[in-house]
Amino acid sequence: MTMKRFSDRRSFLQTAAVAATTVAASTPWVHAWAQTKWPAKPIRIIVAFPPGGLTDALARSYGDHLATKLGVPVIIDNKPGAGAIIGIDAAAKSPADGYTLVMSTSGTFWQNRILYSKLPYNLDKDLTPVTVFPSGPLVVGINDKIPANTMAEFVAWAKKNPASMGTYAPGSYPHMVADQTNRVHGTQIQSVHYRGEAPMWLDVASGQSQIAIGSYLAFNAVASRGVRAIGVTGSYRSPKLPNVPTLMEQGDTAKLVTLEGGLPLVAPAGTPEAVLKLLADEAVAWSNTDKAAKLRETFAIPNKPKNLAGTRKDWEGEVPVWIKLAVDLGIKLD
What's the pLDDT score for residue 331?
Answer: 72
Annotate 312-326 with b (16+ C-beta within 10 A) or e (fewer): beebeebbeebeebb
- Candidates 3.40.50.2300, 3.40.190.150, 3.10.20.90, 3.90.1150.10; CATH matching 38-135+262-329: 3.40.190.150
DSSP string, 156-201: HHHTTS--EEEESSTTSHHHHHHHHHHHHH---PEEEE-SSHHHHH
Annotate 112-122 with b (16+ C-beta within 10 A) or e (fewer): bbbbbeebebe
Domain boundaries defined on the chain: 38-135+262-329, 139-258
What's the pLDDT score for residue 126?
Answer: 96
> What is residue 213's three-state secondary structure?
strand
pLDDT at position 15 over 60: no
CB half-sphere exposure, 97, CA atoms < 13 A:
16
Share of the chain above pLDDT 90, in %: 65
Q: What is the mean pLDDT of the chain?
A: 87
pLDDT at position 35 over 60: no
Query: For residue 26, what pLDDT band results from cuts at 50, 70 and 90?
Result: very low
Amino acid code (one letter) for 163:
A
Domains 38-135+262-329 and 139-258 share a fold: yes
Query: For residue 7, what pLDDT band results from cuts at 50, 70 and 90?
Result: very low
**CA distance linking residue 46 with residue 102, whole number of Å:** 4
What's the pLDDT score for residue 280?
Answer: 98
Task: Order across the sheet with 262-268: list the strands.
Answer: 74-78, 43-47, 100-103, 262-268, 127-134
Q: Determine which helix (DSSP H) or strand (DSSP E) holds 129, and give its type and residue range.
A: strand 127-134
What's the pLDDT score for residue 36?
Answer: 59
Contact 88, 79 (CB under 8 A): no
Query: Tell me, which fold does domain 139-258 have in CATH?
Result: D-Maltodextrin-Binding Protein; domain 2 (3.40.190)
Amino acid code (one letter) for 213:
I
For residue range 243-273, list pLDDT tens digits in order. Answer: 999 999 999 988 888 888 799 999 999 999 9
> What is residue 95's three-state secondary structure?
coil
pLDDT at position 14 over 50: no
